[in-house]
Amino acid sequence: MEQITTAPDRQILLLGDAHLPLDGRDGAEEDITLFRKLLRDERPRTSVLLLMGDVFDFWFEWKQVVPKRAMPLLYDLHDMIREGIEVHYFAGNHDFLIRGFLGDVVGMRLHQEEWDAEIDGRRTRLHHGDGMAQSDHGYRAMKRVFRHPVSQALFQTLVHPDLALNLGKWASDAGRRNTYKKYDGHLRPDHEYLAMARRILQGGYDMVIFGHTHQQKLLRCDDGWYHNPGPFLTFRQYSVIAGGLPEGRTQQT
């Protein structure tokens, strides 16, 4: 298991669920600019960057095409990696194919599912969090289809990138409307995610870190700690680990 030691001048930066739009919709440029500003502000103190998934509202890698609006941010991440900052990317439910460009060209370490690390002596499991709710049968089935190599190859070959981005926007908007309606305008309950975290902690882990639920939390459980850095989307939340437990923060603009 990989070991990471942090300090105030050698922190881990956790950031995700930004859902940055790449289709030019209103507010897209501001969202991307603020995300890049946060990276720039935290960069001098950061030794490891953990991107907890769903950085973009829709991400798919074609063999010859990269969405142009993502490039400034990807340049920033590539520069961080060249400086020696380790950047990890966890596949989220809006990341339909992250294999290839992000790893081979940008240089990020990619995680399709969970990743284990010992952080400041705490055995830690990290995952975007999607599929952890046992009752979410529809998404769990859909995930198997969307992550299947045959489905990805067909989408990569047959769907034009411009159409794909429009389909991604439609699916994201529909998902948010359904979630808003289902939970009467509130965030989705996260009790099933907490239950899964507790089961993982019972297996010998000291800390579990998920994204996905868009709820910034640090909870002491019977066997360890559960943390979610929160969403950059809307709330501009993130967290750092700098010689202690994760600390949730909000970007000051």
Report phi then psi at 221, rounded to 5.
-105, 175
Report phi then psi at 249, rounded to 5.
-135, 170
DSSP, collapsed to helix, strand or coil, labels residue 24 as coil
Q: Which residues are CB-neighbours of 214 under 8 A, at least 6 positions away? A: 17, 187, 188, 230, 231, 233, 235
Residues 33-79: pLDDT tens digits? 999 999 999 999 999 999 999 999 999 888 888 999 999 999 999 99
Query: Rounded to an integer, what distance in angstroms lies between the CA atom of residue 87 and that of residue 14?
Result: 10
Give the residue ranges of DSSP H helices in 53-160.
71-82, 137-146, 149-158
Domains in the chain, start-ordered, CATH in brackets?
Answer: 2-250 (3.60.21.10)
pTM, two decimal places: 0.89
Mean pLDDT of the chain, nearest integer? 88
Residue 182 has pLDDT above 60, yes or no: no
Residues 68-109: pLDDT tens digits? 999 999 999 999 999 999 999 999 998 888 888 999 999 999
Q: Is the dihedral of CA 194, 111, 18, 240 positive or negative?
A: positive
Query: Rounded to an integer, what distance in angstroms lies between the CA atom of residue 248 and that of residue 211?
Result: 13
Residues 146-168: pLDDT tens digits? 666 777 777 777 677 877 777 76
Residue 203 has pLDDT above 60, yes or no: yes
Nearest in space to 233 (alpha carbons), one of 125, 94, 112: 94
Whole-number pLDDT of residue 13: 98
